Amino acid sequence: MSEETTVSPCQSCGACCASFRVDFHPAELAGGRFAWGQGVPHSLSVPVTACIVRMAGTDRAAPRCVALDGEIGLAVRCTIYAERPSPCREFDTEHSACNRARQRHGLPPL
């Protein structure tokens, strides 16, 4: 008998969380009108304009979202998964930039 388990490749990747800027509308912050769950904690974001906030750490020369825990390519998790902003919800392994992010971190394409 074989047991089938499905493990997302994202759980051992995290490359996209350490490759791109993650910008979203302030209404997705905690207390905001369009917040998922409790909303993104203000302390993990930086203001950009009146209409844009950014996940802290994602605009560094070597980007890495402050909400990412773990080691890229081994085991990672988003510490605000239920509250993560819309760009993170829209990005997955089907996204054309997924393999670009993986390549950036020396990971093989999916």
> Residues in the site for ligand SF4, rule: CB under 6 A?
9-10, 13-17, 22, 55, 65, 67-68, 78, 80, 84, 88, 91-93, 98, 101-102
Least distance (Å) between residue 1 CB and ligand SF4: 30
Distance CA 64, CA 62 (A): 7
Instruction: Check if the beta carbon of residue 101 is closer than 8 Å to that of residue 40.
Output: no
The residue (of 9 and 31) whose beta carbon lies closer to ligand SF4 is: 9
Least distance (Å) between residue 52 CB and ligand SF4: 15
Least distance (Å) between residue 105 CB and ligand SF4: 8
The residue (of 11 and 31) whose beta carbon lies closer to ligand SF4 is: 11
The residue (of 38 and 93) whose beta carbon lies closer to ligand SF4 is: 93
Q: Which two tokens stand for residue 36?
A: 């998922």
Least distance (Å) between residue 61 CB and ligand SF4: 17
